[in-house]
Amino acid sequence: MTASQAACLRAALQVGYHLLDRGSSALVAVEQTIRVLERSGLFNAGTGAHLQLDGVRRMDASIMEGDSLRAGAVASIEGIVHPITAARLVMEETDHVLLVGPMATKFARHFKMERQPFTGKPRRFSYETALRKTAHNRERHGTVGAVALDRAGTIAAGASTGGIDRMLPGRVGDTPIIGCGVYAENETGAVSMTGLGEGIIRLAVAKEICAARLVLQKLVARIQGAAGCLVLTPQGRFTIRHSTSHMMAGYWAGRGIPVVKDTFR
């Protein structure tokens, strides 16, 4: 984790905490915290999202609140700074949960969402070469996420990502899939995931997590996956767990300096 990334994480934590302290909802706190990270360009989300193998930046995001179980998500969206806000708009302005591809982009533009000045330059690629490259893809990920509990006792979870290195065009991971990349339910808790999305999808990890360490151990033992998670209970207890070598994350109780590290054991 670079000094710039650590500083950005601290700033994002402070934004989310101060919103909650002033009575904002968990949903707003999660969205605004993630927006700080998307805008920074320092993480694999928003302006810092990876390019897919055809040279285009396509992003995924989702958000969920635990009272009424409302959720919204976008996948393979292009050209906007804040996919997390597009996901919230899907939740609040439609009867749907997930919009994908060019129609998700058109939806965001309908709401005049801020656009990225550069989203990649399309290029030709060979599937033969691309498939060889993706077969052993275990490089950095960098999905951003947040969980929050507000004064009303409602919890929320969200995540935003540009995927993984060397993605085939059209690849979608766990982030926009409710129950896999994020899940929030007031009686059980809130979870936001990061890691290799294919493994997370196969175990529907976000919804399955009750004892985070045991689920992550199964992810490694059964399907050679790798992941990290933020877990928050309705009582405000939380844990940060990961089976990856590192996971940039942090927390803050409103006093002193926010705790930000790249390993949690």
- Angstrom CA distances, 31 to 1, 89, 237, stand at 23, 11, 20
Query: Under a CB-based contact definition with an 8 Å cutoff, are residues 247 and 196 in contact?
Result: no
| CB 153, CB 52: distance < 8 Å | no
Dihedral sign for Cα 172, 199, 249, 136, please. Answer: negative
Phi and psi (nearest 5°) for 53? -65, -15
Structure tokens at 150: 């507000």
CA pair distance 232, 205, nearest whole angstrom: 15
Per-residue burial over 174-204, b = 16 or more CB atoms within 10 Å of its CB, e = otherwise: bbbbbbbbbbbbbeebbbbbbbbbebbbebb
Burial (CB count within 10 angstroms: exposed 0-12, middle 13-18, buried 19+), residue 20? buried
Q: Where are the alpha helices (DSSP H) in the chain?
A: 3-21, 26-40, 83-93, 101-110, 127-134, 197-203, 205-208, 212-223
Catalytic residue among 33, 119, 143, 154: 143
Summarize the chain as % helix, strand, coil (round to 5): 35, 25, 45
Catalytic (active site) residue 143: yes
β partners of residue 229 = 193, 241
- Residues forming the active site: 143
